[in-house]
Amino acid sequence: MAMKKLVVGNWKMHGSRASNAELIKGVLAADLPKSAPHADVAVCVPFVYLSDVAEMLRHTTVACGAQDVSSRAQGAYTGEVSASMIREFGARYVIVGHSERRSYHAESSQLVADKAKAALAEGLTPIVCVGETLAEREANQTEFVVAEQLKAVIDTLGAQIAEVVVAYEPVWAIGTGKTATPEQAQAVHAFLRVQLVAAHPDAARVPLLYGGSVKPDNARELFSQPDIDGGLIGGASLKAADFVAIAQAAV
Ligand code: 13P
């Protein structure tokens, strides 16, 4: 649906100040506005690097974001980082509900929805992740699972659902080298689109990203599916050449 594809790197818990600078240098050297004119590009980095990375990306077309946010605006929440703090460091996006947070930190779909709301309240665009495990897919529960994850966000945001980005990341495809086939991904994306439009007509414009072992050699076919509006890239976003090649696969 989106005019341009959206290609977002999720660095997860990788990097150092020195290696980040190298990576960003490599990405900027590709002159993405010219070499990847059909992609909007962003990188979501660990909180502590937001300041450095935002500074390096200032006056470029590459946006930056965080990987999580507190559902609370401020207060006695030791270890949490608020949306206004993230915003102050120049971020535009924040990932919420990544499967690694849902599983390792027991984040519920309602908490994820509250995080999306907190992000929007500060003008950040939440990238809401949904996706099923292998056991759920094999039990034919994929649609049920992603619908439940999305419903909490739809119910919590109301009309603001049109302002989010949704990323479909099948858990079995994350970091495993097993990509969903373009047809598998497209089928879930089409299902998500129907849910979104039913919730609010303006949500037809919500970009739907695919994530899970996206690489330079499979990006083009994934991005050519009608309901795949871009990608959320883990491992391949840590190598400038691969990340750039994925952005360039957007046509
Ligand atoms: P990989 O691209 O490493 O499979 O990770 C996907 C992901 O989880 C992005 O958020």
pLDDT value of residue 55: 97
Choosing from 107, 136, 169, 189, the catalytic residue is 169
Taking the CB of residue 104, how many other CB atoms lie within 10 A of it?
A: 9
Domain boundaries, the chain: 5-248
C-beta 158 within 6 A of ligand 1: no
Ligand 1 center to 174 CA (angstroms): 5
Q: Is there a contact between 182 and 223 (Cβ–Cβ < 8 Å)?
A: no
C-beta 8 within 6 A of ligand 1: no
Looking from the CA of residue 213, the nearest atom of ligand 1 is: 4
Looking from the CA of residue 174, the nearest atom of ligand 1 is: 4
Choosing from 98, 100, 136, 189, the catalytic residue is 98
Is 59 annotated in the active site? no
Confidence bin at 111 (pLDDT 50/70/90): very high
Is 98 annotated in the active site? yes
Q: Is there a contact between 169 and 232 (Cβ–Cβ < 8 Å)?
A: yes
Ligand 1 center to 40 CA (angstroms): 18
Spatial separation of the C-alpha atoms in residues 170 and 179, rounded to whole Å: 9
Q: Is there a contact between 212 and 169 (Cβ–Cβ < 8 Å)?
A: yes
**Which residue minimizes the CA distance to atom 9 of ligand 1?**
234
**pTM score, two decimals?**
0.97
Confidence bin at 1 (pLDDT 50/70/90): very low
Span 5-248 CATH architecture: Alpha-Beta Barrel (3.20)
Quickly count helices (H) and strands (E) in the chain: 11, 8
The structure tokens listed for 8 are 């977002």
C-beta 152 within 6 A of ligand 1: no
Q: What is the pLDDT of residues 195-241, one digit of tens each?
A: 999 999 999 999 999 999 999 999 999 999 999 999 999 999 999 99
